[in-house]
Amino acid sequence: MTLRVAVSGASGYAGGEVLRLLTSHPNVDIGSITAHSNAGQKLGGLQPHLHALADRVLEPTEVDVLRGHDVVFLALPHGASAEIAAELSDDTLVIDAGADHRLENSEMWEKFYGSPHAGTWPYGLPELPGAREKLQNAKRIAVPGCYPTGSLLGLAPGFSAGVLQPEDVVIVAASGTSGAGKSLKPHLLGSEVMGGMSPYGVGGSHRHTPEIVQGLSNAAGEDITLSFTPTLAPMSRGILTTATARYKPGVDVATLRAAWETAYQHEHFVHLLPEGQWPTTKSVVGSNHVVMQLAVDEEAGRVVVVVAVDNLTKGTAGGAIQSMNIAMGFAEETGLNTQGVAP
């Protein structure tokens, strides 16, 4: 089966990565590609790495352009996708890379995004417990945020297995600058970012906080409490997440490690490294692979999990295509790879 697929936001980072991956997907024919201020431009001038599509012209992001495709990827700013998705047929698979449909709690949406909530779609992180069933035959999929991808994959196994305490979860993550998108932002100028790291969204104010709380609470079966701090690192791609949580009294080290080994033993894209090896963001650049390592800090009574993802691949576009594969009944790994780029 060949799907006709449209990509909106194709001039941006997330849309560009969706296109890069789709060009090697055997079941996809790339239909309309759309943009906003860059509509009318050739893709080659904006995404010079996408040689195979260089002469394709970006159309405006309008419902009429997106209609008539089997699958539509929306890689638009927050708030822009809900309106378009509502106009697309129920038979079209719509995959939203933005945040509009990720949260289950409308109050949380309004608190963190400051607009009316558009509703909740199946969450596109297949490795979470119960997620695959909801993605099969889905016609609407919400792609997770990039920080939630590493954070949830890092701690969900411990909560699902009932070995972690729900209160006092702490996550600190360092992201590459592509996480912020392509539009001009003064704090992302090379001279601001190169040679140093800086925090932002400190004190529970980052909008990914409720998304991570939601996923971990669902895994735990009870509400968890979280302190989440994002930081900006001088690299273009990648997120290194350090997630720690208290383990329940009496749980031993072997039981803790077994929870993660069991959760990921059959997963194609998520890999608990052999003991003693630690993840690096460099090892996952351009791949849909997630690598992690776990340590048990017995003095502190905490599990420490370190996770590396490529924010644009597994953290957005690769995860979106993996979910498309599930929804459409293709083998989950179709068109995706687990090999990084080195050095």
Ligand X SMILES: NC(=O)C1=CN([C@@H]2O[C@H](COP(=O)(O)OP(=O)(O)OC[C@H]3O[C@@H](n4cnc5c(N)ncnc54)[C@H](OP(=O)(O)O)[C@@H]3O)[C@@H](O)[C@H]2O)C=CC1
Which positions touch ligand X2W (CB under 6 A)?
98-99, 145-146, 175, 179-180, 230, 232
Taking the complex as a whole, the smallest distance from the CB of residue 149 to ligand X amounts, in Å, to 8
For residue 149, which of 321, 334, 310, 329 has the smallest C-alpha distance? 310
Active site residue 113: no
Catalytic-role residue among 58, 76, 146, 212: 146
80 scored as a contact of ligand X (CB under 6 A): yes
With vertex at residue 197, the alpha carbon angle to CA 192 and CA 202, rounded to the nearest 5 degrees, is 105
The answer to whether 43 contacts ligand X (rule: CB under 6 A) is: no
Give 97's contacts (C-beta < 8 A, 6+ positions apart): 9, 14, 15, 18, 73, 74, 75, 76, 143, 316, 317, 320
* Contacting residue, 89, 137, 183, 339, with ligand X by CB under 6 A: 183
Rounded Cα–Cα distance for residues 214 and 120 (Å): 12
Q: Which is nearer to ligand X2W, 108 or 180 (CB)?
A: 180
Neighbouring CB atoms inside 10 A of 119's CB total 15
Residue list 46-75, contact with ligand X (CB under 6 A) = 61, 75
Beta strand extents in 187-238 (DSSP E only): 198-199, 226-232
Give CA–CA dist 336/334, Å, rounded. Answer: 6
Residue 132 contacts which entry, ligand X2W, ligand X, none (Cβ below 5-8 A, type-dependent): none
Cβ proximity to ligand X2W, 160 vs 229, nearer residue: 229
150 touching ligand X, by CB under 6 A: no
Q: Would you count residue 11 as binding ligand X (CB under 6 A)? A: yes
CB 316, CB 181: distance < 8 Å: no
Smaller CB separation from ligand X, 59 or 332: 59
Residue 37 interacting partner from ligand X, ligand X2W, none (CB closer than 5 to 8 Å by kind): ligand X
Q: Which does 230 bind (CB under 5 to 8 A by kind): ligand X2W, ligand X, none?
A: ligand X2W
Q: Which two tokens stand for residue 138?
A: 């889905």
Query: Which of 24, 205 has the CB closer to ligand X2W?
Result: 205
Q: Phi and psi at residue 172, in whole multiples of 5°? A: -125, 130
Size of the site for ligand X (CB under 6 A): 30
The percent of the chain in helix, strand and coil, each rounded to the nearest 5, is 30, 20, 45
Question: Which positions from 275 through 334 interact with ligand X, judged by CB under 6 A?
Answer: 311-312, 315-316
Q: How far is the CB of 81 from ligand X (least distance, A)?
A: 7
- Which residues of the chain form beta strands (DSSP E)? 3-8, 28-35, 59-60, 71-74, 93-96, 140-142, 169-175, 198-199, 226-232, 239-246, 270-272, 290-297, 302-309
36 sits near ligand X (criterion: CB under 6 A): yes
Which residues of this chain interact with ligand X, rule CB under 6 A?
Answer: 9, 11-15, 35-38, 61, 75-78, 80, 97-99, 145-146, 178-179, 181-183, 311-312, 315-316
Write out the catalytic residue numbers. Answer: 146
